[in-house]
A and B are shown apart, each in its own frame.
Chain A
């Protein structure tokens, strides 16, 4: 960031959320890599004053990013923050993958590739409201995603926004090695979508892209270039931190000091 540009106020918000996220995953484990790459996007959706999420719809298709969403929902007042300590425990409502048992969650997911189809149905059935779907880049290897791209174009779902957490990694390594998506923007354009590419950690860019998307007549795709593990140096661009169990105290302290 250039020194003369004032940081966006949400920058501070998402930094605090990262602390909550780290604490939660340190205690209970969880998919921290993608949660850190997507948390700015979810923060913009919930705290950017763009949507009324009592009426507009947010669908988390990449259900393993539940930790990021739970932290945002807790801070937005959907449920008490102390519940975050119980994440993925037997007697907790906070399921490992995102679940509609949790206040504020509209769609349960975990099996990849399904959320965008569900979002298409919502956008079609509720044309006056906006439906935002968050997918991951790796998720685009699932065939159902491409079926839903055809569908959204056919039914001219201009009220649908698919925001992609494009962090370039999946559980076993780089997306470009496991199954390359090549030029994803070109593919979306070819499928008849409006495409914007943004820096997924820059709130000015995320918010302006979300604003523009609301005015579109075509289904909207925002490709948000993000960094897996963003904010914690040893997790950044390291797919080993896709999912974390038993983070050591030393690494936790290092991560805390970096945030």
Chain B
């Protein structure tokens, strides 16, 4: 199993298409980037190439779906759903078409490409649409599971993919279910919830808590982070989230997306609507455009969503409450 989310998508779809003759791809000139060369070669009549015309591609996908096909509309997130949003709204969502939109290269993880290509608004665009389900896989394994799952559903869906390879964080026996999130690590003090490979940071923070802050290290046996993979962004897994926040009383949402319209807003709204009071920090891009860099870690640090930012968030949530017992200076 390789660790590339995109390759996992292309390979999984090609495998599924072998048995499911209804699977079509409607592509906007990004076949290679989405690892669909093999699909196009094996199933040329089910690979529809629209060129760099994402709006028409969305309409064609909806029309094809109307004839009983399961259509995967493939492009970069910065083009689809960005350019063709209104066609997605009317032709796909309002008509409730069986179209799965694959928005690849989302977020700051498309490091060198810069602001125009670092799609940080896709979840805002897709979460707001009726009938649309929204997923953001954690890694290659979960991508495979999500693609399989949505291929059996008849509803519109948006699947957000990121560019780099990732580490696999969880047991492959884990099953993806629409509307379920997964506790990657159980804990009792802070709920960290996020989507996509950025969640790897939470595990790094757990390690750093012990190594870099001696006082924390002494407390670390008592402090535990509950790390939740919220790959099903819409529908949300309300019970898992609420249960966790009720328990910890402290919530951090972490995402490679704008604050506006991101998962953090969805979770905050859920928690408040259920009269749960908790401390809340939303780590996401705050009303800024992206920029180029050689590594995404540089960008994550710059935009305040890096490992150190998460570490600060974790310690600040703990310090504020334990200040009666711990001197702030000791935490530096």
Chain A contact residues, CB within 8 Å of chain B: 100, 106-111, 114-126, 143-144, 147-148, 150-151, 155
Report how far A126 CA is from B62 CA in the complex, Å. 13
How near does chain A come to B296, taking the closest CB pair, in angstroms? Answer: 33
| Interface-lining segment among B83-91, B210-218, B235-243, B298-306 | B83-91
Report how far A226 CA is from B109 CA in the complex, Å. 53
Report how far A122 CA is from B97 CA in the complex, Å. 12
How near does chain A come to B89, taking the closest CB pair, in angstroms? Answer: 8
Cross-chain contact of B53 among A109, A116, A125, A147 (Cβ < 8 A): A147
Known interface pairs A106-B66, A122-B67; A151-B60 also in contact (CB < 8 Å): yes
Most chain B CB neighbours (cut-off 10 Å) among A114, A124, A150: A114
Q: Which residues B15-66 have CB closer than 8 A to chain A?
A: 24, 26, 48, 50-51, 53, 55-66
Chain B contact residues, CB within 8 Å of chain A: 24, 26, 48, 50-51, 53, 55-69, 86-87, 89-91, 94-95
Q: Check B95–A124 contact: CB distance below 8 A.
A: no
With both beta carbons as reference points, the residue of chain B lying nearest to A143 in the complex is identified as B55
Number of A-B contacts (CB under 8 A): 90
Q: Check A117–B56 contact: CB distance below 8 A.
A: yes
How near does chain B come to A5, taking the closest CB pair, in angstroms? Answer: 39
A-B contact pairs, 12 of them (CB 8 A): A110-B90, A114-B87, A114-B90, A114-B91, A116-B59, A117-B62, A117-B87, A124-B60, A125-B63, A143-B55, A147-B50, A151-B60
Overall SS of chain A's interface: helix
- Other A-B pairs beyond A117-B60, A122-B66, A148-B59, 10, CB < 8 Å: A114-B55, A117-B91, A120-B56, A120-B60, A121-B66, A123-B63, A124-B60, A125-B69, A147-B56, A150-B56
Q: Check A118–B91 contact: CB distance below 8 A.
A: yes
Q: Check A148–B56 contact: CB distance below 8 A.
A: yes
Which residues of chain B are near A117, meaning CB under 8 Å?
Answer: 55-60, 62-63, 87, 91
With both beta carbons as reference points, the residue of chain A lying nearest to B99 in the complex is identified as A121
Most chain A CB neighbours (cut-off 10 Å) among B56, B69, B94: B56
Q: Check B64–A122 contact: CB distance below 8 A.
A: yes
Report how far A100 CA is from B57 CA in the complex, Å. 21
How near does chain B come to A58, taking the closest CB pair, in angstroms? Answer: 12
Cross-chain contact of B64 among A114, A121, A144 (Cβ < 8 A): A121
With both beta carbons as reference points, the residue of chain A lying nearest to B49 in the complex is identified as A154
Q: Check B68–A147 contact: CB distance below 8 A.
A: no
With both beta carbons as reference points, the residue of chain B lying nearest to A119 in the complex is identified as B63
Report how far A108 CA is from B91 CA in the complex, Å. 7
Q: Check A121–B55 contact: CB distance below 8 A.
A: no
Report how far A43 CA is from B67 CA in the complex, Å. 25
Q: Check B87–A125 contact: CB distance below 8 A.
A: no
Known interface pairs A119-B63, A120-B59, A125-B64; A144-B90 also in contact (CB < 8 Å): no
Q: Check B59–A121 contact: CB distance below 8 A.
A: yes
Which residues of chain A are near B63, meaning CB under 8 Å?
Answer: 117-125
Known interface pairs A107-B95, A108-B95, A151-B50; A121-B60 also in contact (CB < 8 Å): yes
How near does chain B come to A88, taking the closest CB pair, in angstroms? Answer: 17
Cross-chain contact of A124 among B48, B55, B57 (Cβ < 8 A): B48
